[in-house]
């Protein structure tokens, strides 16, 4: 099979081949797999990225607060024609908390919608968020040592709890072990190139815990630091195919000048 298709065919690929990209805007296909419900106070840096229409807005991806008016998400969550908002400070993506419009955004200049490389984007909010116990920033990973396979990372979001199941109203969270770059590259040989700006996490032998549709763009945290952004993967929680995430540390030279 072809390794990855272009962005215009991402939804078809997600349905036919099992890729778990958050840009799928069908609500019936937008949770964390194998996790449990959590409160936003456990991950106060988590936001829901929402696409706006004339009369409403709805969840499409996750995001991570990195300053009072900046949110990191996945590049594939953002379209040049879209208008967006973020909801912060609520365990539900569809009510409560602070709903703030996105003023503008930056997509990594080398983002590839074919290979899904450099899958990272930054949203600038129209007004600054009010920080509280349910809304706060998360610091960025500052060392390659965060990415050792001996660690477990925590992933949160409102995506599917099963592949192709419905959107979760309640925020979910799950811990997954990091996977070595070498092993992940070997597992994904027939699908896509695992670059140095990506890392993998999941239960390789048995599966069962993972991010899924609707979690894209959301935070991957370790010891209180943001180490990754949910990006892509084959299926959800499938054995031999861990989730693939954008490596925040690898993008520090792109992120910091935009803060």
Which amino acids are annotated catalytic? Answer: 76, 119, 216
CA-to-CA distance for 40 and 192, rounded, in angstroms? 34
CA distances from 164 to 17, 18, 159, 203, 235 (A): 12, 9, 10, 20, 9
CB atoms within 10 A of CB 19: 24
Task: Tell me the two tokens of residue 67.
Answer: 């300053």
Distance CA 82, CA 101 (A): 12
Q: Considering only CA atoms, which of 141, 123, 15 is closest in space to residue 73?
A: 123
Contacts of residue 21, defined as CB under 8 A and 6 or more positions apart, other chains included, come to: 10, 13, 14, 76, 213, 216, 232
* CA pair distance 166, 213, nearest whole angstrom: 9
């Amino acid at each position: 099979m072809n390794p990855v298709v272009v962005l215009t065919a991402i939804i078809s690929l997600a349905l036919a081949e099992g890729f778990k990209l958050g840009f799928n805007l069908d609500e019936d296909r937008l949770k964390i797999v194998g996790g449990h419900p959590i409160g936003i106070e456990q991950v106060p840096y988590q936001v829901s990225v929402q696409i706006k229409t004339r009369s409403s807005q709805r969840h499409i991806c996750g995001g991570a607060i990195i300053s009072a008016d900046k949110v990191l998400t996945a590049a594939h969550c953002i379209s040049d024609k879209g208008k967006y908002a973020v909801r912060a400070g609520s365990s539900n993506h569809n009510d409560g908390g602070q709903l703030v419009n996105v003023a503008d955004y930056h997509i990594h200049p080398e983002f590839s919608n074919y290979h899904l490389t450099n899958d990272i984007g930054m949203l600038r909010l129209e007004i600054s968020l009010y920080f509280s116990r349910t809304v706060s920033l998360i610091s960025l990973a500052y060392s390659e040592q965060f990415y050792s396979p001996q660690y477990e990372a925590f992933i949160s979001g409102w995506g599917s709890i099963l592949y192709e199941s419905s959107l979760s109203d309640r925020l979910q969270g799950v811990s997954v072990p990091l996977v070595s770059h070498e092993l992940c590259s070997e597992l994904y040989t027939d699908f896509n190139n695992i670059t140095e700006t990506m890392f993998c996490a999941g239960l390789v032998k048995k599966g069962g815990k993972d991010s899924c549709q609707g979690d894209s763009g959301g935070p991957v945290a370790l010891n209180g630091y943001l180490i990754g952004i949910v990006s892509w993967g084959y299926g959800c929680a499938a054995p031999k195919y861990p989730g693939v995430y954008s490596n925040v540390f690898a993008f520090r030279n792109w992120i910091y000048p935009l803060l």
